[in-house]
């Protein structure tokens, strides 16, 4: 049961970053004085560090099953109701870990300035709000704030490509939000309510559960959120946005921002009669996404774009597990989402650092990354070790964390087509990261080949960049070693009685499967870097990408989902 105290505490993860954003904006008016820098640092501390205290204090009530509350104590008819439970707590932990590490990195590598801090904190605040919303109106606001902040952050590198990526993302996702409103309108007309509980009660009272209108409204809402999650077929905006954003932003976008809307959607679908059908359909699309996106990733030549396609592939794993609609599926999805936030954040930061140090992002040209990093002041090989840990995590090598979470997901699909789809995706991931790792090979000598590029002028690997990467790398190892405990904890928070079947780190069938995936991956890698492999890669890369294609893919996805849901009814 909710006490006034808990309700106030549960708003802190939302209000602290928002208050921090206000402080950072105020710091902007002080124009670069020492007071401005102090105020900006205080704002970041208040917005990214203090919420951990609130989360620690909220842990007992979250473990006890959570509570619902109305913001500022207004009565339910006119107030905003929120729910703070195990899911909110876990998603908040994911969000604040990813955002905190990325912010520390940005202190060294940029973007800097109070306006960046302000927008970053607004985004963090919206993440926390999205995690516990139980009202369609509020979900709409949260998603729009989240979206607006992320469009600005994508564009904040100022490069032409980033501006265009931000525009495309903005246009397609705003168009999708118009459909979200249409779906919201459908539910409101049917039930006269916008809270999840009210909609569920209203639909239950209508004979036939609302018929076609309810099915089409569900499709509109699900499709609009699917864009944010970047599941097939609506992932087209992501590679440009994540590849061209500043590295710290790429880490947050890939690590946190694409997952929070997924968990928020799961909360909504639990209340809808067609919710589990919609969830299963999106989950199947997720398994396909995991495999298709990794094949495209394997063909990329831009290092960060390669990582961006891997984000789509990894979110496919998460969506597939989430699509089961069971507490065990949700726990495995969260576990992989959390681990992915750690290792993909790490990969974006380390590969971004390497690209800046070497002055190029072309995987086929970049060689001698270690030497370039040493020239940029990274004598202790922090970046190289960080990259190695990230790469071993994503390719599911024990004892690192990716092994456990991918094992927990594939255990859910034993004897199913999705099991093999995810296994194939795992092998391709190995191949793709072998290819990316060639940037550490020594530069080739013969003059016909491109020489290692000159290090970027004045680029230094600063202590805050190293601190951020060290933290994430350490987390990848620690969470890998303690996976069983973390998995059991998450399962307990999400009410999965049977727990998760996390494979043993030392030996066993799952480890043998990893060996097989590595062998297949190595063969695929050899194929991919051969001449015919490179020609195929170039063909995959040069397939046309257009803005109209994004909207058409969304419309097609929405139409298919709507038709399937109407039939399933």
Which residue number, 177 or 490, has a Cβ lying nearer to another protein?
177
CB atoms within 10 A of CB 193: 17
Q: Is 546 in the site for another protein (CB under 8 A)?
A: yes
Which residue number, 189 or 379, has a Cβ lying nearer to another protein?
189
Q: Is 520 in the site for another protein (CB under 8 A)?
A: no
Q: Write the DSSP string, 242-303.
A: HHHS-HHHHHHIIIIITTHHHHHHHHHHTTSTTHHHHHHHHHHHHHHHHHHHHHHHHT--BH
End-to-end CA distance of the chain: 36
Q: Is 171 in the site for another protein (CB under 8 A)?
A: yes
Binding window for another protein (CB under 8 A); candidates: 175-183, 351-359, 394-402, 520-528: 175-183
Contacts of 380 (CB under 8 A, 6+ apart): 466
Cα–Cα dist 18/14, whole Å: 7
Going by the DSSP 8-state scheme, the letter that residue 207 receives in this structure is G
Strand 67-70 with 81-84, pairing: antiparallel
Among 91, 101, 121, 170, binds another protein (CB under 8 A): 170
Q: Is 189 in the site for another protein (CB under 8 A)?
A: yes
Contact 150, 123 (CB under 8 A): yes
CB atoms within 10 A of CB 323: 25
Q: Is 140 in the site for another protein (CB under 8 A)?
A: yes
CB of 462 to another protein, least distance (A): 27
Tell me which residues in 193-252 interact with another protein (CB under 8 A): 194
Contacts of 251 (CB under 8 A, 6+ apart): 98, 101, 102, 105, 344, 345, 346, 348, 349
Cα–Cα dist 331/319, whole Å: 12
Q: Is 174 in the site for another protein (CB under 8 A)?
A: yes
Q: Is 306 in the site for another protein (CB under 8 A)?
A: no
Binding window for another protein (CB under 8 A); candidates: 43-51, 54-62, 134-142, 459-467: 134-142
Q: Is 4 in the site for another protein (CB under 8 A)?
A: no
Binding window for another protein (CB under 8 A); candidates: 50-58, 188-196, 256-264, 404-412: 188-196
CB of 421 to another protein, least distance (A): 31
Among 1, 29, 31, 160, binds another protein (CB under 8 A): 160
Q: Is 163 in the site for another protein (CB under 8 A)?
A: yes
Cα–Cα dist 304/72, whole Å: 43
Q: Measuring CA to CA, how many Å separate 97 from each of 154, 299, 329, 468, 473?
A: 20, 31, 22, 11, 13
- 417 CB burial (10 A radius; 0-12, 13-18, 19+): exposed
Contact 66, 88 (CB under 8 A): yes
Q: Is the dihedral of CA 259, 260, 261, 264 positive or negative?
A: positive
Contact 266, 279 (CB under 8 A): yes
CB of 124 to another protein, least distance (A): 18
Binding window for another protein (CB under 8 A); candidates: 82-90, 172-180, 248-256, 507-515: 172-180
Binding window for another protein (CB under 8 A); candidates: 313-321, 445-453, 473-481, 541-549: 541-549
CB of 66 to another protein, least distance (A): 26
Q: Is 152 in the site for another protein (CB under 8 A)?
A: yes
CB of 162 to another protein, least distance (A): 9
Which residue number, 25 or 490, has a Cβ lying nearer to another protein?
25
Among 52, 167, 420, 459, binds another protein (CB under 8 A): 167
# of chain residues touching another protein (CB under 8 A): 37
H or E element at residue 499: none
Which residue number, 39 or 225, has a Cβ lying nearer to another protein?
225
Nearest alpha carbon to residue 6 among 97, 69, 89: 69
Q: Is 144 in the site for another protein (CB under 8 A)?
A: yes
Q: Is 185 in the site for another protein (CB under 8 A)?
A: yes
Q: Is 142 in the site for another protein (CB under 8 A)?
A: no
Question: Residues 56-95: x/- map of binding to another protein (CB under 8 A)?
Answer: ----------------------x-----------------
CB of 264 to another protein, least distance (A): 17
Among 49, 164, 411, 467, binds another protein (CB under 8 A): 164
Q: Is 137 in the site for another protein (CB under 8 A)?
A: yes
Cα–Cα dist 307/232, whole Å: 17
Going by the DSSP 8-state scheme, the letter that residue 530 receives in this structure is S
Going by the DSSP 8-state scheme, the letter that residue 443 receives in this structure is P
Binding window for another protein (CB under 8 A); candidates: 24-32, 266-274, 325-333, 548-556: 548-556
Give residues in contact with another protein (CB under 8 A): 78, 137, 140-141, 144, 148, 151-152, 155, 158-161, 163-164, 166-167, 170-171, 174-175, 177-178, 181-182, 184-185, 188-189, 192, 194, 545-548, 551-552
């Amino acid at each position: 049961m909710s006490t006034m105290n808990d309700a106030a505490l549960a708003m802190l993860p939302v209000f602290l970053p928002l208050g921090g954003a206000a402080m950072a904006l105020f710091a902007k008016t002080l124009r670069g004085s020492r007071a401005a820098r102090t105020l900006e640092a205080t704002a970041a501390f208040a917005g990214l560090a203090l919420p951990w205290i609130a989360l620690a204090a909220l842990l007992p009530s979250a473990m006890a099953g959570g509570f619902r509350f109305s913001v500022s104590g207004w009565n339910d008819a006119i107030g905003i109701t929120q729910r703070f439970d195990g899911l909110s707590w876990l998603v908040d932990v994911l969000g604040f870990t990813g955002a905190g590490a990325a912010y520390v990195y940005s202190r060294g590598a940029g973007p800097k300035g109070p306006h960046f801090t302000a927008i970053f904190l607004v985004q963090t605040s919206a993440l926390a709000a999205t995690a516990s919303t139980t009202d369609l109106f509020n979900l709409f606001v949260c998603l729009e704030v989240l979206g607006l902040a992320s469009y600005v952050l994508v564009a904040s590198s100022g490069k032409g490509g980033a501006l265009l990526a931000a525009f495309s993302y903005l246009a397609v996702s705003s168009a999708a939000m118009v459909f979200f409103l249409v779906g919201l309108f459908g539910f409101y007309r049917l039930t006269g309510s916008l809270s999840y509980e009210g909609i569920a009660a209203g639909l239950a009272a209508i004979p036939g559960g609302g018929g076609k209108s309810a099915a089409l409204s569900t499709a509109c809402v699900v499709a609009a959120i699917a864009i944010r999650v970047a599941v097939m077929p609506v992932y087209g905006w992501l590679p440009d946005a994540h590849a061209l954003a500043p590295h710290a932003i790429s880490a947050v976008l890939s690590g946190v921002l694409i997952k929070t809307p997924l968990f928020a959607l799961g909360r909504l679908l639990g209340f809808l009669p067609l919710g589990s059908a919609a969830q299963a359909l999106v989950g199947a699309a997720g398994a396909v996404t995991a495999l298709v996106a990794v094949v495209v990733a394997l063909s990329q030549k831009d290092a960060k774009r390669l990582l961006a396609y891997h984000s789509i592939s990894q979110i496919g794993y998460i969506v597939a597990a989430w699509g089961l609609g069971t507490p065990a599926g949700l726990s495995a999805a969260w576990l992989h989402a959390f681990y992915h936030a750690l290792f993909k954040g790490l990969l974006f930061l380390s590969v971004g650092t390497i690209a800046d140090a070497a002055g190029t992002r072309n995987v086929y040209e970049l060689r001698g990354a270690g030497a370039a990093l040493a020239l940029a002041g990274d004598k202790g090989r922090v970046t190289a070790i960080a990259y190695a840990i990230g790469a071993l995590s994503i390719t599911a090598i024990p004892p690192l964390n990716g092994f456990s979470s991918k094992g927990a997901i594939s255990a859910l699909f034993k004897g199913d087509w999705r099991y093999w789809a995810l296994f194939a995706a795992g092998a391709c991931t190995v191949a793709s990261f072998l290819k990316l790792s060639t940037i550490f090979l020594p530069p080739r000598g013969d003059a016909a080949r491109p020489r290692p590029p000159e290090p970027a002028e004045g680029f230094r690997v600063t202590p805050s960049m190293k601190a951020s990467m060290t933290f994430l790398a350490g987390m990848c190892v620690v969470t890998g070693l303690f996976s069983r405990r973390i998995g059991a904890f998450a399962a307990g928070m999400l009410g999965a009685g049977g727990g998760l079947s996390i494979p043993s780190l030392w030996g066993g069938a799952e480890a043998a499967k990893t060996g097989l995936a590595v062998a297949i991956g190595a063969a695929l890698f050899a194929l991919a870097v051969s001449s015919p492999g490179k020609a195929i890669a170039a063909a995959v890369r040069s397939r046309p990408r257009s803005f109209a294609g994004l909207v058409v893919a969304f419309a097609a996805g929405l139409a298919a989902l709507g038709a399937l849901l109407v039939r399933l009814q």
